[in-house]
């Protein structure tokens, strides 16, 4: 009874399993259940040695040797067959034994109720003297970490994809829009002051259905332009700035540090499809869409947008991969199955600069955890291109030969 999984028992009871509801009722009053079981157990454990000893003395005479042998044999049999073996079997197969047994214990509890009440009268008095409150609610709720452990240990009972989605769902509490947003430098935006021909060309060739429109500086956002609707409205007429301005939708701003789960609720309530992330000074830091958040749960969507030259090939035959320094760490970890730290900088460039504490000049190699990286190209502002070496893969001789600096793991 005590070894039963309460959540599993609740599931069995909801599906009408034989004895499940009865077992639930018994476990709801653990004090009465234990009293009945222990009273019956100790009663038989007391009666059997007394009877056996009496029979032995009556048969073989009143002899101390007979008394000692009879007591030893009975004690051995009780310990092996009435205590250790049944309890091990019960703990190993709790469902198979507890559910049928509850059908016998339930009526036994009703029959022995007066005896149980009398015994508990003394037991409860002792508990009150010891200031032990047995009426406190036993909280059976599981924490997020406990649920995560259950999912991780589900093994073959749950498909890998489903398990991954559940684990990602638990992580939403600790992720902010800063972790999933498209950074400022990767935003494709439209300059309202550009020549009309350039604006029209950008509308016809852009990869997105919505574009940020700004005036002069990207921090001066005028609105969000729906590209497909704009092109449809311009059919058989020339593009004019006033017409373009009328088609702009009001921009939707959110502060940095907004929890991802909360932002997803905001998207549902406001019906917006794009949010601009700004810092405390009102400067644009990036943009986030519902798709960016959903990708954290189920993985990346198939898209025609080129991924900054990374492609989708991942590791090559030599266990190497070249990626841009601006690539977000969470995206990189998910794509290449790495474990780079994400509790600090959000991009690969930021992580390398934090470890090196300087902007590297020339070829520099660094190892962060179990991942080796080689800076291929950098400028005065940031790391542009990085080569990653797959953990555990055999590296070709001289792959890191050009390195000028090697740092230990972070």
| Measured distance CA(291)–CA(181) in Å, rounded | 10
Mean pLDDT (the chain) is 83
| Measured distance CA(364)–CA(374) in Å, rounded | 6
The phi and psi torsions of 358 (rounded to 5 degrees) equal: -170, 160
Give pTM, 2 decimals.
0.59
List, for residues 70-122, the tens digit of each pLDDT value: 888 888 988 998 889 988 998 888 888 889 989 998 998 888 888 888 888 88
Tell me: pLDDT of 266 over 50. yes
Tell me: pLDDT of 156 over 80. no
For residue 405, the model assigns a pLDDT of 44
pLDDT confidence tier of residue 56, bands split at 50, 70 and 90: confident
Q: What is the DSSP string of 201-262?
A: HHHHH-S-SEEEEEESEEEEEEEEEEHHHHHHHTTTS---HHHHHHTPBPP-EEETT-BHHH
Contacts of 318 (CB under 8 A, 6+ apart): 393, 395, 396, 399
What's the mean pLDDT in 346-374?
Answer: 87
Domains 175-298 and 306-410 share a fold: no
In order of 350, 374, 400, the CA distances from 357 in angstroms are 10, 16, 21
Q: Tell me the domain boundaries of the chain.
A: 6-129, 175-298, 306-410
For residue 395, the model assigns a pLDDT of 59
366: β partners: 373
CATH 3.10.580.10 fits 175-298, yes or no: yes
Residue 62: is it exposed, middle or buried by C-beta count within 10 angstroms (0-12/13-18/19+)? exposed
Structure tokens that stand for 217 in this block: 């500086």
What's the mean pLDDT in 337-362?
Answer: 86
Tell me: pLDDT of 184 over 60. yes
Residue 241: is it exposed, middle or buried by C-beta count within 10 angstroms (0-12/13-18/19+)? exposed
For residue 221, the model assigns a pLDDT of 92
pLDDT confidence tier of residue 140, bands split at 50, 70 and 90: low
Lowest pLDDT segment from 70-84, 161-175, 314-328, 363-377: 161-175
For residue 225, the model assigns a pLDDT of 92
For residue 213, the model assigns a pLDDT of 93
What's the mean pLDDT in 25-47?
Answer: 86
Structure tokens that stand for 88 in this block: 């091990």
Tell me: pLDDT of 133 over 60. yes
Closest CA relative to residue 250, chosen from 284, 275, 231: 275
Closest CA relative to residue 381, chosen from 344, 362, 353, 345: 353
List, for residues 286-323, the tens digit of each pLDDT value: 999 998 888 878 876 654 444 444 445 578 888 889 99
pLDDT confidence tier of residue 236, bands split at 50, 70 and 90: low
CATH 3.40.1280.10 fits 306-410, yes or no: no
Closest CA relative to residue 249, chosen from 279, 288, 213, 278: 213
């Amino acid at each position: 009874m005590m070894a039963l999984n309460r959540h599993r028992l609740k599931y069995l009871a909801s599906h009408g399993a034989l004895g499940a509801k009865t077992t639930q009722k018994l476990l709801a009053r653990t004090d009465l259940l234990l009293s009945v079981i222990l009273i019956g157990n100790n009663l038989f454990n007391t009666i059997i040695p007394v009877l056996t000893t009496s029979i032995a003395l009556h048969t073989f005479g009143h002899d101390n040797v007979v008394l000692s042998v009879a007591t030893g044999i009975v004690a051995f049999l009780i310990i092996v067959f009435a205590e250790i073996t049944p309890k091990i079997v019960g703990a190993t197969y709790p469902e198979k034994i507890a559910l049928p047994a509850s059908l016998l214990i339930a009526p036994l509890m009703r029959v022995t109720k007066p005896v149980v009440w009398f015994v508990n009268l003394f037991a409860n008095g002792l508990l009150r003297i010891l200031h032990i409150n047995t009426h406190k609610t036993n909280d059976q709720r599981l924490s997020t970490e406990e649920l995560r452990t259950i999912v991780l240990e589900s093994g073959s009972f749950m498909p890998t994809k489903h398990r991954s989605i559940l684990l990602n769902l638990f992580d939403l509490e600790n992720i902010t829009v800063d972790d999933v947003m498209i950074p400022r430098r990767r935003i494709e935006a439209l300059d309202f002051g550009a020549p009309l021909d350039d604006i029209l060309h950008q509308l016809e060739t852009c990869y997105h259905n919505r574009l940020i429109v700004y005036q002069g500086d990207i921090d001066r956002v005028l609105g969000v332009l729906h590209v497909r609707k704009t092109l449809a409205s311009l059919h058989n007429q020339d593009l004019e700035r006033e017409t373009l301005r009328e088609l702009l939708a009001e921009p939707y701003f959110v502060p940095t540090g907004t929890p991802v789960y909360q932002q997803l609720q905001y998207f549902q309530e406001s019906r917006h499809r794009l949010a601009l992330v700004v810092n405390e000074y009102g400067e644009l830091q990036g943009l986030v869409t519902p798709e960016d958040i959903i990708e954290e749960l189920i993985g990346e969507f198939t898209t025609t947008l080129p991924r900054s030259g990374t492609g989708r090939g991942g590791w090559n035959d030599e266990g190497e991969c070249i990626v841009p320094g601006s690539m977000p760490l969470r995206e990189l970890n998910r794509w290449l199955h790495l474990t780079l730290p994400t509790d600090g900088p959000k991009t690969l460039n930021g992580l390398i600069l934090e470890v090196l504490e300087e902007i590297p000049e020339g070829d520099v190699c660094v190892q962060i955890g179990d991942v080796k990286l080689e800076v291929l190209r950098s400028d005065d502002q940031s790391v542009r291109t990085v080569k990653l070496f797959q953990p555990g893969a055999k590296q070709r001789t001289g792959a890191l030969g050009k390195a000028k600096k090697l740092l230990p793991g972070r």
